[in-house]
Structures are given as structure tokens and as C-alpha cells.
Structure 1
Amino acid sequence: MKQASALAPRLQAAPATNDGWKMLLKKEVLRFWRVAFQTIAAPVLTAVLYLMIFGHVLSGRVEVYPGVGYVAFLVPGLVMMSVLQNAFANSASSLVQSKIMGNLVFQLLTPLSAWHWFVAYVGAAIARGLLVGLGVYLVTLLYAPPRAAAPLWIVVFALLGAGLMGVLGLLAGLWADKFDQMATFQNFIVMPMTFLAGVFYSIHSLPGVWQGLSHLNPFFYMIDGFRYGFFGVSDVSPWLSLAIAGGSLLVLAALTQHLLKTGYKLRS
């Protein structure tokens, strides 16, 4: 606690003209870009495999919305799922890796503020999430024609989802001290909440109890709002989805900023 407190002034006292955050952002972007085959191509391939398997089995048998085939319905869900999971993985793995390898100390010596750290890590997470999502979408054009009933909603929820998961990943990275703790967070929280958020189905097809539980899942609102941008149809109002996803982002961002300012688990 004493060491964490000693870090706090350094994370808060950054001059307004400091451009170090740009270098940190560039470093974080290059970190995943240099291994793009693993960080971008592999998630795209995984999403396409989901589309091929589920689309082959259920295409022609399920029509979730009137006039919307199952393959077309599946595309926005897979795109957003890829955005969410990869945005989280980027910020979480980067911070945990820096802790384990010991190079975090060099960042602690810089006059970067907590806000600069936040922008750099979350900005890189958004970049990776959107790149993977765009890659998934471009490949899925081979399986379903492009549709965009409300393009602005697509952009808003893509940015909102990537930002929210980037913040959650940063929060997980602050909490975790080793990779297995981060993996626990991802495997037991992020992945189940993503798969149970309506990626592969409409929640109206679920029994009443499960519908109620789905409404407690903030990931559902991001996916449902994103899907509304493609078809102009959704399970709940896109404004409700925007309010809940936006509120979740603000709460997590405020918490993460507080932990950064206090130096929570950044120096051991």
C-alpha cells in the first residue's frame, strides 16, 4: 500500500503538453500489429469457422427476424463478439505481460498521467477490436450480402463496445498479477457473458427466466444495438442499449481511472 501510494503523484503530475501518451499508444498498437497473424488473422478465422458451422447447420431452418436469414442474422453477432473479445484481450494481456516481464517500471518512471495511460491502453484495444471486427465482416461478405439499415448505430456500438471492453481489460490487467488470473477473468466472465448475449440467437427464443437473466447482461445490449444497425430490428430499443452500454462504460472508466491514480498493483 505504501509503495502504491508512492506511485500516485507520478501518475497524476504530468504537464499538459506532454506527448508521451502518443508514444505509449504507438507502442501498444505496434505490440499487436507486429504479430498480426496471431492477434488479427487468427480471431478472424475463428469467427468464420463459427459462421460456417452454425450457418451450415441452421441456414434455411431458422428465421429470427422476418426476411432475415440465419446466416445474415449471425454476421453482426460474430463481428461484435470478435470486437469485444479482442479489445479486452489486448489491454489485459499487455498490462499483465509488462508486470511479469518487469518492463512496467520504465513506464512508471515517465511523467505520464493516469489519463494518458488510460487513453493509450484503451485506444490500442479499440484499434485491435475494430480491426478484427472489420476483418470478420469483410470475410463474411462471401456468405451474406451487406446490409446497413442504420449505419450510424453500427459505428456507435462498435466504438462503444470496443471502448468498454478495452476499459474492462485494463481493469483486469490491473487486478491480475499473472496470466492464469487474467485467463480466469476471460474464461469465466468475458467469454460466457459474450456467448450468452445473443450472438447465435434472439433472446425471444428463450424461456422467460433466461430472457430475464439475459437482460442483466450488459454484453447483450452491445450486440443487440449493433445488430439493430444492420437490420433496423432488435430485441430491445437501441436507445435502451445505448444508455446501458454507455452507463457501464462510464462506471468502469471512472473506477479504472481511480485505480490508476492510486497506483493500484502497479508496483509490487
Structure 2
Amino acid sequence: MSEEQAPAWNSWRPFWTLLRREVWRFCKVSAQTLLTPIITASLYLFVFGATLGERIAVVEGFSYAQFVVPGLILMGVINNSFANASSSLFVARYIGNILDLLVTPITATQFIFAYTLASMLRGLLVGVAVWGISIFFVPLPWINPVGAIAMALLASFLFAQFGIIAALYANTFDALSMFNNFLILPLIYLGGVFYPISILPAPWEGLSRLNPLFYLIEGFRYALLGEGDIAFGTAFGAAVAMAVVLFGWAAWLIGRGYKLRN
């Protein structure tokens, strides 16, 4: 992948072209990429909002539905940001049309950010849709809206990078699905989406704090509700650190052309 600078007026054309293509790709199959995860999240909201939401409580001052909804919103953001980057890049490698892209004057940075921004857009669209549906079940106080938006952006950015990394390391569709089925989903469910980590006995509470998704979920929940197992600043700092590490990892792989030419 060329890192040479194109003429100033033309240097970002490959980036915008790739970004438009990636956005168009997931919009063209929106029933699969947007509607399906929204329906899945709606079923969760029905179960926890209309049935259990007012009958149990795990955080004083909030219903169980209010506790769960922030995690469901972020779960949609995370899953779809990862799915978009990983599936798109892996399929491009698998069918070989990634080679057509590599001969264009696009830089490694532009390559990463085109895939990243398209994936973030898909993840955030699903997250906003889930939040919109949740309004019919339970209100959220939005204590720190700027912090909530920042955490959602960080989560989508972070998992877009992880999707790029997974797409480069996976050699088969089964290997790619393992990242989601055996890593992301267990970390989400064990990261405090459906229960507060503080109610766990030792040593499970301490072990749960090693889960990187715990910081994303708790930071987002704290920004929305003003309550959480850790302070917002701690969660935000951990999320920024993880995002920097994954971006550096993805940039290193793309810069080397790792598995892009074979």
C-alpha cells in the first residue's frame, strides 16, 4: 500500500470513494445489517421492559429496565461495528478484490479510517435505533449526554479496529465467527449488561473487572444514569487506552500489508 502523497487536491479522493462504497454496502443489505439487530434488541427490550422491568431492581432508584437498556444500546453498537469491519474486509480478502484496492493511491491511514468510519456509522445507527425503541418502554435520565456520546463513539471506534484485526488474522469464515461467538459475546454477557458486577461474590467480582467490555458498559451506563460500579473518568480512560492500542495494532498490520496480498 502506497504511503506516497498524491497531489493535494486529489489525495483524499480514494478515501472518500472507499468510505462511500463501504456505507453503500451495508445500506444495500439494510434488512440484514440494520433491521435484524434492531429486531433482536427490541425483543430484549420487550422481555426486560414490558415483563421484568418493573418487577425487579438491582440498582437503588432505577428499575431493572433502566439498568439494562444502556447495556443493550452499547451491545448493538459493539456487535455491529465489529461485524461491519470484519465481514467487509474479510470478504474482500477472500474473493480477491482487495488487490484492486491496493493498487490505488490510498494510504494505510486512509484505508483504516474508511473502514472504521463506515463501521462506526453502522454501529451508531443501530445504537440510536435501539435507544429510540427503548423510549416506548422506559425513560433514561441522560445525566451526562456528552459523556454517553463519547463512550458510544469510543466503543464503535474500538470494535471497528478489532474487526479489522480479526479480518486480517482469520483464514476462514468459521475462524472469523469464532471472534464473535467465543470472545465478544461472552465478554459482553459477563461485562455487566444484565447485572451489576458489585453483586458478585469474590473472586468473581475482581475477575470481572479484568473484562475490557466492563469499562465500556459501565462508563456508558454511568453517563446515562449517573450510577455505576466505577467512576466515569476511570471507564473513559480505560476505553481510550484500549482504543489507542487496537488502532496501533491495526495500523501496524495494514502498514505491513499483512495478509492483504495473499
Give the TM-score normalised by structure 1.
0.93
Q: Could you tell me which runs of 5 or more consecutive residues in structure 1 were left unpaired when the two chains were aligned.
A: 1-9
Alignment of 1:10-29 (within 5 A): 10-15=1-6, 17=8, 18-19=11-12, 20-29=14-23
SS in 1 for 2:104: coil
Alignment of 1:27-46 (within 5 A): 27-46=21-40
Answering whether residue 88 of structure 2 is matched by residue 94 of structure 1, we say: yes
Q: Could you tell me which runs of 5 or more consecutive residues in structure 2 were left unpaired when the two chains were aligned.
A: none
Cα distance change of structure 1 residues 124 and 16 upon mapping to structure 2, 3 Å threshold: farther
SS in 2 for 1:149: coil
Alignment of 1:96-111 (within 5 A): 96-111=90-105
Cα distance in 2 for partners of 1:165, 1:130 equals 12
Paired letter, 2:222: Y
Answering whether residue 235 of structure 2 is matched by residue 241 of structure 1, we say: yes
2:126 pairs with one of 132, 137, 140: 132
Do 2:50 and 2:137's aligned partners in 1 also have CA atoms closer than 8 Å?
no
Paired letter, 1:93: S
Do 1:11 and 1:263's aligned partners in 2 also have CA atoms closer than 8 Å?
no
Paired letter, 2:77: V
Say which structure, 1 or 2, has more relative contact order (CA 8 Å, 6+ apart): 1
Cα distance in 1 for partners of 2:192, 2:239 equals 15
Cα distance in 1 for partners of 2:170, 2:144 equals 39
Answering whether residue 63 of structure 2 is matched by residue 69 of structure 1, we say: yes
Give 2:216's aligned residue.
Answer: 222
Do 2:140 and 2:225's aligned partners in 1 also have CA atoms closer than 8 Å?
no
Paired letter, 2:145: P
For residues 77-128 of structure 1, the C-alpha deviation after alignment (integer angstroms, 9 at most, x for no partner) is 1000110010000000000111112211110111111101110011111000
Cα distance in 1 for partners of 2:190, 2:105 equals 42
Cα distance in 1 for partners of 2:88, 2:185 equals 19
Cα distance in 1 for partners of 2:205, 2:42 equals 27
- Identical pairs, percent: 39
Structural RMSD (CA) = 1.3
1:184 pairs with one of 155, 172, 178: 178
Paired letter, 2:175: Q
TM superposition shift of 1:14: 4.0
TM superposition shift of 1:214: 1.2
1:256 pairs with one of 247, 250, 255: 250
